[in-house]
Amino acid sequence: MKRGFLTNEKAKRFLSAPTSLPVKTLDDAEKARVTLSKANDTTKVLQSSSKAVPDKKKSSPLESDDPWRDIEIRFPGGGTQCLVTDDLLQRLVRTPGGCPQPIKDSDLGGNYRISPTPGKGLGMFATRDFNTGDLIVNERPLMVVPRIPVGVLTDEGVLDEKATKTILHQAEKVMCPIFKRMREEDKKAFMELHNSHLQDGSGPILGVIRTNGYVFGDEAETNSNASTKENHTSIFKDLSRVNHSCSPNTSHKFHVSTFSMQLRAARDIKVGEEIFTTYTDILEPAAVRAKDLTSYQITCACRACLDPDRSDPIRAAVLKRPAIFVPMQKDFGEDWIDPALETLSRIEQEEL
């Protein structure tokens, strides 16, 4: 799962393949702790924003007939404001036992602190020792919204600067009513997050989303169409404070049943150690990672970035690794064992 919102080349290509889809009602939502918003501000914006760019030659829409649903996920003490695909909403309202299911009290915190970290603003730090696989954070998002702006028609091909700014402006208008529905304390937490998109035409809400969003993974995205994968991005009060490393010490996964993101230790972590995730593909060469990180205004100074001549070949070998699981075919014999152990050694060496 990737961190970010419109920060890589694939996402930028999607900007020229938008969709204009209505927000509708769903009776089944009444059976779950999922509320369809009664406000129609988002619907009006989605319907009107298709006129934002002159009607010239259009690119084909996203290969999805999935309408977007304006909803709130309710849970004790708060809720998450969302604009989600109908596919995801159907999963939520049909989750066995209802959605969201309770988070265990033991999962609700006390494992970390949010504190200043040199050169990075705030970061997350361990307040106890963790073994590999231990749960660090289990947090529900403040907001879940489309990763790619919806409802804007654009010219075919690469977007020029004017069209890009128009799309960003319209995307801000789509996000505004969602933000306004948030509780005051959630609004405050949201706006206190870092914004690295102050100069590119993003509004204040969209800028925070683009800087801090975690893209949903396969647990939440079930549509088999590859072009509609990773449709949503989620913003958190604490998880969005986790800083980047090209050798992260955690992994994360979104769980639909609890509507929460779990952050777990990818290796042993000592008390006082900073907790890291990654905002880019850590197996790419250092130069590619550096380019991806520019949208976050990050110049990474980790060991791998400071010594790419040593690190890049190791990561390339892991990327091209042989299978590290037991092959199903019997004719493999034991020939796979040594290559798999070598790959595991490289992963440990690079702290991947």
| Model pLDDT for residues 246-295, shown as the tens digit of each residue | 888 999 999 988 999 999 998 899 999 999 998 887 778 888 888 888 87
Cα dist. 163→16, 110, 194, 316 in Å? 10, 46, 26, 37
CB-based burial label for 165 (10 Å; 0-12, 13-18, 19+): middle
State pTM to two decimals: 0.74
HSE (side-chain half, CA atoms, 13 Å) at 61: 12
Structure-token pair, residue 325: 């699981």
Per residue in 266-277, is it b (16+ CB within 10 Å) or e — as a string? bbebeeeebbbb
Beta strands in 128-177 (DSSP E): 135-139, 143-146
C-alpha closest to that of 103 among 207, 212, 259: 259
User: What pLDDT, on the 0 to 100 scale, is given for residue 230?
Assistant: 61
Structure-token pair, residue 170: 């319209």
Highest mean pLDDT among 35-44, 54-63, 227-236, 321-330: 227-236
Other residues' Cβ atoms within 10 Å of the Cβ of residue 320: 9
Least confident of 3-12, 156-165, 185-194, 321-330: 3-12
| Model pLDDT for residues 39-77, shown as the tens digit of each residue | 445 555 544 444 444 444 343 333 345 578 889 998 888
**pLDDT mean over 162-189:** 90
Q: Which residues pair with 58 in a beta bridge?
A: 155
DSSP code of residue 73: E
Q: Which residues pair with 277 in a beta bridge?
A: 244
User: What pLDDT, on the 0 to 100 scale, is given for residue 340?
Assistant: 61
Q: Which domains does the chain have, with CATH numbers?
A: 65-94+142-150+161-217+228-235 (no CATH), 100-139+241-322+339-351 (2.170.270.10)
